[in-house]
């Protein structure tokens, strides 16, 4: 039986993509670990058998096309799993956000996912494989001050749900991983948070800063290797549709089934907005 193949975007060391690459490799898959800058990939991952490094910038059509051609040649025209993991964060109230930063985030978190998925689709159809989108509980839990990130994850969640219907006749699964709090270095790449001096949200700046620095994630998040092992186990078990992994994911799933006012109360309370006048 031919070795199954997986390509993962955004596998820089210390992140979810890197942990997923280790977990897939551990189970005998051939892993194409990609990053815009491959020097950021963990050397320990690069040294493992069945791991191949590729440069891939999901915001560049030329970079995507080059990666597709390379994988097609190396893997014989088939790809069993495409894991869309590349992503950016941005924490800032809507009234204070920078539109250029917002567009940059959507270019990676949404348009980049669509571009990579469309480019690799023929290989996935040939293999009757699976597209895996790393989404977030932020796509349903509208945590204040993360409005652009939340919106990008809501968009990618709906994209995944709809694409799953469209690709079902071709035998391709589409899995959306609703990711909760996970301990990674993700916050190191979030734009520096500086609230404007005339912001209406100055009275709650401490609440925003706590989110921008990842204090809650560091304290309560699921270890990234534990998260990755759980996700890969479900993927190799034939998962399809939404799956929920990481700290708080079960709670958010439960809240999403309740009337809106329950989620509203939780979000207003934890963000400090309830006391803002």
Q: For residues 195, 198, 204 and 208, what is the CA-based torsion angle, rounded to 10 degrees?
A: -20
> For residue 221, what pLDDT is reported?
94
Structural domain containing residue 254: 5-275
- Give the three-class secondary structure for 44: helix
Q: Is the pLDDT of residue 89 over 90?
A: yes
DSSP string, 186-237: GGGGSPPP---TT-TTGGGHHHHHHHHTTHHHHHHPEEHHHHHHHHHHHHHT
CA gap 155, 107 in Å, rounded: 12
Average pLDDT over residues 191-201: 94
Token pair belonging to 44: 């320990």
Question: What is the value of pTM for the model shown?
Answer: 0.96
Q: Residue 261 has what pLDDT?
A: 92
Q: Which two tokens stand for residue 115?
A: 């571009």
160: left (phi over 0), alpha (psi -120 to 50) or beta: alpha
Q: Each residue of 221-271: pLDDT tens digit?
A: 999 999 999 999 999 999 999 999 999 999 999 999 999 899 999 999 989
**pLDDT digits 0-9 by tens, 112-163:** 999 999 999 999 999 999 999 999 999 999 999 999 999 999 999 999 999 9
Instruction: Classify burial at 92, counting beta carbons within 10 Å of its beta carbon; exposed 0-12, middle 13-18, buried 19 or more.
Output: buried
- Dihedral in degrees, nearest 10, Cα atoms 257, 110, 64, 188: -90
Mean pLDDT of the chain: 95
pLDDT at res. 1: 63
What confidence tier does 214 reach under pLDDT thresholds 50, 70, 90?
Answer: confident
How many domains are contained in the chain?
Answer: 1
- DSSP letter (8 states) at residue 172: -
pLDDT of residue 156: 98
Residue 272 makes CB contacts below 8 A (sequence gap 6+) with 203, 204, 206, 207
Task: Please tell me which residue, 22 or 219, carries the higher pLDDT value.
Answer: 22
Q: Tokens in use for 251?
A: 């709670």
d(CA 57, CA 116): 9
Q: The tokens of 121 are what?
A: 């689709």
Could you give the residue numbers annotated as active site? 149, 153
Closest by alpha carbon to 88, among 21, 9, 204? 9
18 three-state secondary structure = helix
CA 121, CA 136: separation in Å to the nearest integer? Answer: 23
Nearest CA-CA partner of 137 in 254, 18, 264: 254
Two tokens at 61? Answer: 């059509």
Res 213 pLDDT > 90: no
Going 57 to 58 to 59 to 61, the CA torsion angle's sign is positive
Look at residue 186 in the predicted model and tell me its pLDDT. 83
Residues 50 and 29 sit within 8 Å (Cβ to Cβ): yes
- Report the chain's C-alpha Rg in angstroms: 19
Query: What is the arithmetic mean of pLDDT over 30-50?
Result: 97
What percent of the chain is predicted at pLDDT more than 70?
A: 99
Average pLDDT over residues 179-184: 96
pLDDT at 189: 80
pLDDT of residue 123: 98
- Give me 25's structure tokens: 């490799």
For the domain that residue 180 is a member of, what is the CATH number?
A: 3.40.50.720
């Amino acid at each position: 039986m031919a070795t199954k193949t997986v390509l993962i975007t955004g596998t820089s060391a210390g992140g979810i993509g890197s942990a997923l690459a280790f977990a897939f490799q551990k189970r005998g898959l051939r892993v194409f670990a990609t990053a815009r800058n491959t020097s950021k990939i963990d050397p320990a991952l690069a040294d493992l058998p069945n791991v191949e490094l590729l440069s891939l910038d999901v915001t560049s059509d030329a970079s995507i096309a080059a990666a597709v051609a390379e994988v097609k040649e190396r893997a014989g025209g088939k790809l069993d799993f495409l894991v869309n993991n590349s992503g950016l964060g941005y924490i800032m109230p809507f009234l204070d956000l920078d539109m250029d930063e917002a567009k940059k985030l959507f270019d990676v978190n949404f348009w980049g996912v669509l571009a990579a998925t469309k480019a690799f689709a023929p290989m996935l159809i040939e293999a009757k494989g699976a597209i895996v989108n790393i989404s977030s509980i932020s796509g349903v839990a509208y945590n204040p001050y993360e409005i652009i990130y939340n919106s990008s994850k809501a968009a990618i969640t709906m994209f995944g749900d709809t694409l799953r219907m469209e690709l079902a006749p071709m035998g391709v699964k589409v899995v959306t991983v609703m990711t909760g709090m996970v301990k990674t270095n993700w916050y190191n790449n979030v734009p520096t948070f500086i609230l404007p001096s005339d912001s209406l949200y100055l009275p709650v700046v401490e609440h925003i800063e706590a989110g921008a620095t990842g204090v809650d994630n560091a304290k309560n998040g699921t270890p990234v290797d534990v998260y990755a092992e759980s996700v890969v186990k479900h993927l190799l078990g034939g998962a399809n549709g939404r799956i929920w992994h990481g700290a708080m994911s079960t709670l958010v799933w439960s809240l999403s089934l309740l009337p809106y006012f329950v989620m509203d109360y939780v979000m207003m309370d934890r963000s400090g907005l309830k006391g803002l006048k």
